Amino acid sequence: MKIILTALVSGVFSICQAQQDTGYAHEVLYELSSKKYHGRGYYGNGEIKAAKYICSQMEEIGLGKVGGKQYQSFPITGSIITKSTLKINDISLELGKQFLPGSANPTSSTKIWTTENVSYTILHIDSNTTKESLVKFFEKDITGALLIDTFGVKSKVNMRSIWSFIEKKRIETVFQMFKNDFNHDVARGSSNISLFMIDYEKMPNSIKDISQWRRLDFRTKAKDYNKDQKNVLGLVEGTNKDSTIIVCGHYDHLGQVGKDAIFYGANDNACGIAMLLDMAKYFKKNKPKFNMLFIAFGGEEAGLVGSKYYVENPIVPLAQTKFVLNLDLVGTGHKGMTVVNATVFPEYFKKLTDINDTYNYLPQITRRGKAANSDHYFFTEAGVPAFFGYFQGERSSYHDVFDVPETLPLTKYIDGRELFIKFLEVI
């Protein structure tokens, strides 16, 4: 009985300890993923508001300024979609869940197309589609809307080839069907094509048969956005001030489309910022060997704009930057982690895996080569060793409205944080 009671008390203590360890992470996660930041994009100045919050947290932790700066401002150009509606056969689709406008180029137009004044040309792309059959299709006299059925996940042609033809034929509007959740992209392009992405799985059954579409009513309204964004900086001085380790992560996300579709970005990347601040608290209390510079980057979703600007205008000379650890997508981890640049910097990867083998933090760590998929990239291109480790498992929501904190498990958050801290202490 005594042994059972001891085990029970021990178990309760472990649970409480785990809750305490993730308490601050949850606080930051829920704050940055709340409605008042509008998805941390341009809508409602959400990205600017998020930068101010992160700066206040760095000040509370006691991080120092870098060269007298807490912020590094950089220019950015984008668009805000203020309104978008889509009706098919007089049935309204739900913005953000059933459809999304894919074009962020400013426009204000209302169009109504019916079978009385337009000939719909339907392109079915399936596993039998070849580039040759695609060429023959686009040799037709295509007028009006082009409806693209992309259900063929094993198609022999990729979407880049298709869009090349679309642009050559000067097609004005595209309705692109998706078999699974589509995702939003805020990087502004130069194309004037009006794109509407439709989630086939979430469409009403009554309009799933494209051949029965008789009327399309749609509208997208957008405006230009030209306000400087900010990288947020905080420093912990180390014993050796000649070298600096950078811990970074982007705080921006995809923002808001219209009044209702908010891309909360819990895993991408409110969770990464939570871990960044958590690690800053640790190194503030435990003096590091080298200077530790914590950077929350803006503009990542618009094309790594903030990190590119920093690399081109470094606050700390790149020659004195020993290593960069990029925290992005760290809210899961049940299936382990993949490390970008593992094959580029094998000596660092071995140190990371040796620690993991000793403490069994993650079930596996897999290698990946160079990739321009997050804020580590321009550091690597400039010759600075950098890792981007993203966690895997339990979660499919990505760049959609379903990436919310309530369903983010933080399965390996604590273990991942400890792994990264021990790694940075030995490099």
- Rounded CA-CA distance 104/380 in Å is 30
Give the mean pLDDT of the chain: 88
Residue 418 has pLDDT above 80, yes or no: yes
- Decide if pLDDT at 243 tops 90: yes
Which pLDDT tens digit goes with each residue over 122-172?
Answer: 777 777 788 888 888 888 877 666 777 776 656 677 777 788 888 888 787
The structure tokens listed for 114 are: 């019916």
pLDDT of residue 365: 98
Lowest mean pLDDT across 25-29, 212-216, 320-324, 388-392: 212-216
Cα separation, 38 vs 47, whole angstroms = 8
Please tell me the distance from the alpha carbon of residue 318 to that of residue 160, in angstroms, as a whole number: 36
Secondary structure (3-state) at 313: coil
Give the type of residue at 382: A
Asked if 369 contacts 344 with a C-beta cutoff of 8 angstroms, the reply is yes
Say yes or no to pLDDT of 1 above 50.
no
Q: What is the rounded distance in angstroms from the CA atom of residue 173 to the CA atom of residue 194?
A: 5
Tell which residue, 399, 381, 392, has the closest CA to residue 416.
392
- Taking the alpha carbons at both ends of the chain, their separation in whole angstroms is 48
Query: If you average pLDDT over residues 274-297, what whole number do you get?
Result: 98
d(CA 252, CA 225): 15
pLDDT at 13: 34
* Nearest-angstrom CA–CA distance, 409 and 335: 13
Asked if 192 and 173 touch (Cβ cutoff 8 Å), the reply is: no
Mean pLDDT of 262-270: 97
pLDDT, residue 16, reads 39
Give the closest residue to 404 by CA, choosing from 89, 96, 66: 96
Range name among 1-15, 46-60, 224-238, 392-406 with the lowest pLDDT average: 1-15
Domains and CATH numbers, the chain: 26-76+227-426 (3.40.630.10), 79-224 (3.50.30.30)
Distance of alpha carbon 22 from the chain centroid: 22
Helix axes 46-61, 271-285, angle to 10 degrees: 20
Beta bridge partners of 223: 80
pLDDT for 107 beyond 70: no
Residue 10 pLDDT:
36
- Residues of the chain above pLDDT 70, percent: 88
